[in-house]
Amino acid sequence: MLPVAVTNYRDMIKTNPLLPALQSTANNLAKHFTAISPARRELLQQLTAFVEQRVQAGQVVHLNFICTHNSRRSHLSQLWAQAAAYHYKVPNVQAYSGGTEATAFNPRAVKAMMEAGFQIVKVNDADNPVYEVTFADEINPVTAFSKKYDDPFNHNKDFAAVMTCSHADENCPVVLGATARIALTYDDPKEFDGTSVEAEKYKERVEEIGTEILYAFSQVRR
């Protein structure tokens, strides 16, 4: 009997389970991989290639997702990346986020990620609160708070700077310490704050970023 042809590397791999609600979300988002446009796939391939190169070399993969205020899109991307790496068994991935200035992890974005299945606990009530984010039972929570991209909390050399907003991409021409730069930008859900479609737009952004980040990690060959 001839072997069955595998047309997608993702079909070859087993995955680690996420928290039940998050696993359900990830399963649903994976159904939309084929809808990712060729142009976006080309951008996502840059992320896949950076991760794959480091993994195959036995190195730690450092990713810093950067947006101007480190309040929404950069956090969503960081948390999805850490969850996706675990889910698709991509080892030694450390995802961070930062901005050109620090503000706070926006509570609307926090709520939208919780609705997607992440467990998020606020550690303190500071103006810039610290959160602990859990995506799987076996993994320690991710510490999330707003910070500049070069904050000592982040890894500051030999990392990929993933620019998640066009403003940061255009106004931060040099990211010190980065050995790769990827412009993976998203529309800002902030534009809909206080409107009747606020929750819908935050959900839309969480799902868009989740779909693309999951796809990028699903393509990493190990």
Element (H, E) at 152: none
The domain spans of the chain are 16-218
Question: Which phi-psi region, left, alpha or beta, contains residue 124 (left: φ > 0; alpha: ψ -120 to 50)?
Answer: beta
Q: Are 195 and 176 in contact (CB under 8 A)?
A: no
| Number of other residues whose CB lies within 10 A of the CB of residue 138 | 7
Helix 107-116, helix 20-30: angle, nearest 10: 90
Query: Looking at the chain, how many residues does it have?
Result: 222
pLDDT digits (tens, 9 = 90+) for 27-70: 999 999 999 999 999 999 999 999 999 999 999 999 999 999 99
Q: Are 99 and 74 in contact (CB under 8 A)?
A: yes
Mean pLDDT of 199-204: 98
pLDDT score for 14: 85
Mean pLDDT of 132-150: 97
Main-chain dihedrals φ then ψ at residue 134, nearest 5 degrees: -115, 135
Scan for tokens 């961070």, then name that residue.
96
Q: What is the CATH number of domain 16-218?
A: 3.40.50.2300
pLDDT digits (tens, 9 = 90+) for 79-101: 999 999 999 999 999 999 999 99
pTM over 0.85: yes
- Which tokens in the block code for residue 5? 């042809």
